[in-house]
Amino acid sequence: MSKATEMLDELISGLEEKHDVPAVHVHPDAPWAIEFNGLLTPITSMQRCKDCGFLMTYPFETECPVCHFKGSQSCALKMHPLDLHNLSSEGNQRAISRLALRVGQIENAEPHPKSDKLMITTMNIGSSEPITVVAGISQYFSAEELINKRVVVVTNLKHTKLAGVVSQGMILCGTNADQVIPLIPDEAMPVGEYLTIDGTTMNASKTCSRDHFIYVSGYFAIYDEKATIFRKPIDGVTCPLPNNSAFN
C-alpha cells in the first residue's frame, strides 16, 4: 500500500469514528476503491461548490470536478452534478437518461474456453438479432441454470473484448459477500422492454461512457429487495438480497 493510500485510509478511519458511519462494499472498479479492497465510507463529509452548487464528497473531492478541477486528483471523473439530498434533481434524471437498461432473456450459455470465470451468453433483447454478452458469473451459475433466465441488461455500453470475445452488453447482478444474484424483471414485462425509474425511461441511444457508468453505478443499491438508483426503485425489478447490497 502506498504512503498516500495509507494516509487516506487513516483519514477515512478517523471520519468513520467521528461520524459513526461504517464502511460498506462498493463497486470494485470505482477509482477510489481500487486500493481499499472494495471498502469505502459512503458519506464522510459533504460540501457544495460555491460557484456551481455541485455536492462534493470529502476527502475524495477537495476541488469541484465540474468547474474547478485542475487535475490534482488523477481519478476524479467529469460528470453532471448529482445531489443525493434531492433524488428527483435534474442532474440525477440526466444521469439516468444516459443509460439503456432492457429486459433480456438468455437463449444460450457456454463457459468461456479461455477463462474459468467468464460465461458467454446469447441474449434476446427484443431486437432483430440476439446479442452476445460475456459475464463473469461462471463461478456462481452453470450454463444450464442460465438458459431461459430473464435478466436486466445494460445495452449501450461500448462493446468490449473479454478474453478474445466481444461483449455487447452487461448483465446486472446483485452482490453481497459471496452471493451473486441477477436482477429479476417482473414476469409481466416483455423481453426487450426498456426499464423506467421515477418517470424516466432508460432507453438512451448514444453510447454511455465507461466513466459515467462507473460513477452512476456507485449509486446502484438494493433496498427492500428492490433495485434502486439514487434510492429510487427501478420499476418492476427486484433482487432478494439485504439492504445496501450493491448491483453491477
pLDDT tens per residue across span 143-188? 999 999 999 999 999 998 999 999 999 999 999 877 899 999 999 9
| pLDDT tens by residue, 211-230 | 788 778 878 889 999 999 98
Q: Contact 193/102 with Cβ under 8 angstroms?
A: yes
User: CA Rg, the chain, in Å?
Assistant: 19
Q: What is the dihedral of CA 43, 198, 205, 67, to 10 degrees?
A: -40
Among 93, 78, 89, 88, residue whose Cα is nearest residue 210: 78
Return all residues near 87 (Cβ < 8 A) that are at least 6 apart: 198, 230, 231, 232
- Please give the model's pTM, rounded to 2 decimal places: 0.67
